[in-house]
């Protein structure tokens, strides 16, 4: 199974693609969509085009997006929410179900603690995906989102199999 993780951002949106075979995960690609334009509509369009091209190129089977972190600056949170909308829309347009994870859930799945620093996430992504060199902290976060989603998909498949076996 191929999984794409997306760390939404209006100026820089991280993405990471991994392949999952059983419990093994391997790095496929990662990067950062850097949006263009001065007005938000142009940036959102740039983000949509960039993510659409990435999904077309790597053809993932599953997608996950990090949930928006709400901060004190309401205007910034709303803008991030719009970028997140694009990050959810693009995989949905490709026919994928989109998993959504809180930042703390991603950190806990990858690092083991929900309050890990960015450097810890980057380190664990590199450790768990040998040969991986994230091009930005946003790309490392996106790879962590993909890894978290793969873990949850495996767990839910095991649960479904156990329930089916119990019938």
Q: Cβ neighbours of residue 86 under 8 Å, at least 6 residues apart? A: 8, 44, 47, 48, 51
- Residue 164, pLDDT > 70, answer no
- Residue 149, pLDDT > 90, answer yes
- Of these residues, 61, 122, 138, 164, which one is catalytic? 138
Give 38-61 pLDDT, tens digit per residue. 899 999 999 999 999 999 999 999
Greater confidence (147 vs 70) lies with 147
Give the whole-angstrom CA distance, residue 146 versus residue 6: 8
Active site residue 164: no
Give the whole-angstrom CA distance, residue 165 versus residue 155: 15
Q: pTM of the prediction?
A: 0.91
Average pLDDT, the chain: 92
Give the whole-angstrom CA distance, residue 141 versus residue 8: 10
Q: Cβ neighbours of residue 117 under 8 Å, at least 6 residues apart? A: none
- Of these residues, 42, 61, 66, 164, which one is catalytic? 66
Active site residue 7: yes
Give the whole-angstrom CA distance, residue 41 versus residue 25: 36
The average pLDDT across 142-164 equals: 82
Instruction: Please determine, looking at this structure, whether the domain spanning 2-166 carries the CATH number 3.30.2010.10.
Output: no
> pLDDT band at 78, cuts 50/70/90?
confident
Give all strands (DSSP E) within 2-156, no chain letters: 2-7, 12-21, 24-34, 62-66, 98-101
Give 97-133 pLDDT, tens digit per residue. 999 999 999 999 999 988 899 899 999 999 999 999 9
> pLDDT band at 79, cuts 50/70/90?
confident
Is residue 138 part of an annotated ligand binding site?
yes
**Is there a contact between 80 and 68 (Cβ–Cβ < 8 Å)?**
yes
pLDDT for res 104: 93
Is residue 7 part of an annotated ligand binding site?
yes
Q: Where are the domains of the chain?
A: 2-166
Active site residue 138: yes
Structure tokens at 90: 């693009």
Is residue 66 part of an annotated ligand binding site?
yes
Give the whole-angstrom CA distance, residue 167 versus residue 165: 6
């Amino acid at each position: 199974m191929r999984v794409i993780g997306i760390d939404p951002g209006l100026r820089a949106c991280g993405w990471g693609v991994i392949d999952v075979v059983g419990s093994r995960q391997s790095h496929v690609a990662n990067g950062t969509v850097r949006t263009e334009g001065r007005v938000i509509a142009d940036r959102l369009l740039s983000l949509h085009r960039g993510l659409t091209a990435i999904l077309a190129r790597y053809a993932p089977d599953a997608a996950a997006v990090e949930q928006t972190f709400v901060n004190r600056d309401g205007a910034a949170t709303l803008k991030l929410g719009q970028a997140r909308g694009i990050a959810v829309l693009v995989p949905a347009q490709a026919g994928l179900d989109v998993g959504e994870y809180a930042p703390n859930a991603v950190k806990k799945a990858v690092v083991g603690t929900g309050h890990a620093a960015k450097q810890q996430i980057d380190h664990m992504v590199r450790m768990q995906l040998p040969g991986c060199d994230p091009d930005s902290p946003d790309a490392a976060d996106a790879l962590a989102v993909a890894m978290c989603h793969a873990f949850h998909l495996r767990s839910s498949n095991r649960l479904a199999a156990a329930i089916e076996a119990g019938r």
